[in-house]
């Protein structure tokens, strides 16, 4: 099992960060020609296919929502093919801080399966998480100030 996680503190309440997170996830899904996310994703929803670059080509994931707790947590399972070839749990956790005026955002990916040594690139994933967390912060903070 391999895991990557990155934190970001956001000067916005969890409700604002949640909305930005879903908008960003929706943008990513629409780019992959899939459907939009609702205000609260439904457990079991399939989010369309992601085609992700790997060291040996492009891997196709079909994300499925596993946990959706509004303003708190979104967890999806990204799976290549059959179970345990590569199962990757992608999580977003929003923790209110400073009396709910700010949010500590955690983005985590936990992967297991036979293809982890070939397809799981911790450094690339860490950079992508940092970029996505920063984008969520940059979109959330102006909304909170407005």
**In the predicted structure, residue 63 carries a pLDDT above the cut 80:** no
The pLDDT of residue 116 is above 50: yes
DSSP letter at 99 equals: G
Cα–Cα–Cα angle for 78, 37, 94, nearest 5°? 75
Q: Quick one: the chain helix, strand, coil %, rounded to 5? A: 35, 40, 25
Q: Tell me, what's the pLDDT at 144?
A: 96
Domain layout of the chain by residue ranges: 2-145
Which CATH architecture best describes the domain 2-145? 2-Layer Sandwich (3.30)
Listed in sequence order, the residues at least 6 apart from 92 whose beta carbon sits closer than 8 Å to its beta carbon are 21, 73, 74, 75, 105, 106, 107
Q: Which residue has the tokens 């930005």?
A: 20
Section 48-64 average pLDDT: 53
DSSP string, 37-98: P-SSPPTT-B---EEEEETTEEEEE--EEEEEETTTEEEEEEEESSTTTEEEEEEEEEEEEG
Q: Identify the band that residue 12 occupies on the pLDDT scale cut at 50, 70 and 90.
A: very high
């Amino acid at each position: 099992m391999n895991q990557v996680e990155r934190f970001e503190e956001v000067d916005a309440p969890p409700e604002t960060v949640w909305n930005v997170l879903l908008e960003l996830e929706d943008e990513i899904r629409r780019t992959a020609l899939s459907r939009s996310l609702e205000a609260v994703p439904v457990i079991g929803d399939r989010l369309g296919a992601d085609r992700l670059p790997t060291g040996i080509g492009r891997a196709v994931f079909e994300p499925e929502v596993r946990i959706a707790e509004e303003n708190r947590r979104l967890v999806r399972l990204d799976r290549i093919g059959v179970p345990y070839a590569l199962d990757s749990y992608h999580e977003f956790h929003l923790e209110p801080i400073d009396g709910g005026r700010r949010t500590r955002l955690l983005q985590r990916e936990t992967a297991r399966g036979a293809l982890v040594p070939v397809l799981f690139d911790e450094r690339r994933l860490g950079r992508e998480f940092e970029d996505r967390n920063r984008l969520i912060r940059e979109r959330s903070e102006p909304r909170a100030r407005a």
